Amino acid sequence: MEVKLLSHTPDPERLIAIAARSCVSKRSAHELISEPDEALRRSLNKVLESGHESVIEHAYFTFSIKGISRACTHQLVRHRIASYSQQSQRYVDLRDADFVIPESIRNNGEALEAFRAAMRGAAEAYSKLLELGIPPEDARFVLPNATATNIVVTMNARELLHFFGLRCCLKAQWEIRALANAMLELARGAAPAIFERAGPYCLYKGICFEGDRECPLYEKYVLRRD
């Protein structure tokens, strides 16, 4: 997969700090723009430490994601506090589509042969249906979850923290976990203070919603907080 941060709110941490400070000031946010960096930094740190996360919703991040499977995007779009624009299988000719191959299959010669045979069969059936005059919106019904796709995703900073909390977890499916980690690296580069402790919930908040005491991260991040 290929993940790029297309755009984000300019100076997101300063914006969030101004919004936070406006909640406890007689002055409006536009009157606080000239506040010194140090004062705003203190406001930002206080918000992040106290868990008052509503103000970080003011910062948005937009990602371009290329080459992930339809199986992965089916999971991704379950995060409903976001905006998505996905490559359409109705309008894009997918006769030369790529297919995402899981490592478990790639590392097993017999499984890889069976997988590739299935992908060839799906691709041939798709092409045959188009040749027979079947519209792409119907021909696509034979395409598998492995079909590679592109998608644009916009999330605010608070939803990103939630997304990372769930999808950076070692219990998350491997492909969306890889996607989440790639997005986290880019988000942290743009807003290091906001995403400094971002990651699976065990790291972010010291909580394991899976309750998996056998997980290698459980002792490291959960028990040590207790």
Question: pLDDT of 69-106, one tens digit each?
Answer: 999 999 999 999 999 999 999 999 999 999 999 999 99
Asked about 167 being catalytic, the answer comes back as yes
Amino acid of residue 2: E
Question: pLDDT of 117-152, one tens digit each?
Answer: 999 999 999 999 999 999 999 999 999 999 999 999
Helix (H) or strand (E) holding 175: helix 174-190
From 70, 140, 158, 167, the catalytic residue: 167
Pick the closest to residue 63 from 39, 93, 37, 84 (CA basis). Answer: 84
Instruction: Kindly tell me the number of DSSP H helices and DSSP E strands found in the chain.
Output: 10, 4
Look at residue 226 and tell me whether its pLDDT is greater than 80. Answer: no
pTM for this model (two decimals): 0.93
Question: pLDDT of 47-73, one tens digit each?
Answer: 888 878 899 999 999 999 999 999 999
CATH 3.30.1360.170-classified regions of the chain: 2-84+151-199
**On the CB side of 31, how many CA atoms lie within 13 Å of its CA?**
6
Pairwise CA distance, residues 209 & 141, whole Å: 36
Domain 2-84+151-199, what fold? Gyrase A; domain 2 (3.30.1360)
